[in-house]
Structure 1
């Protein structure tokens, strides 16, 4: 259901660090938003170092942009960004000053997974029982 895109300069993270970060994001999202881990998607978008800027200068930020369904409580979303930012720093070694986590959302009915419109937050169990 959720999609996390991690954008960074090529060579910033090892394959092991990417795998560890994807696992941490999955664990955190599952715990905070009550979604089975197998529905959490994490994608790494690595760009040439000449295409990544921070403050108008070439840089090596780690930008994690997440999409979730509208309707999760604000305090859960705040917890989600804090925990993901902390995990990103701990797992990857990227300094906290270079980590940006942003959560965006849209209504559940604006997305389809497994051929079905996504459920509203809180309706996951019904959706899964019906064949999700």
Structure 2
């Protein structure tokens, strides 16, 4: 049994054989859990990319100010509208990807909880049916 499946294995009484449909649900649960784990990795990578982009933008603005000071010029950084445009151009795609990943996680977590409950109930039924059959 796989690592995630061990959580369900503890619920199964010795000698109980699960039907193919329940085994398929467990496989589906494991696939969803793996997807969830992959999404966590992707989120971490996107957050790092966002941090790096923000750092690069801040460094670029600081360098512009530094160069103006070296030349004895007054630094007039971007106004609010220009800054919004710069941030949107450099961070907009990353933020959109993050939003999509988070949205997928919300729905996936709900599906995982629902499927886990269904599997646990089916295991209880299988345990009861096996115990009833053994007592006859």
What TM-score do the two structures reach when normalised by structure 2?
0.29
Higher helix residue share: 2
Larger radius of gyration: 2
Which of the pair has the greater relative contact order for Cα pairs under 8 Å at 6+ separation?
2
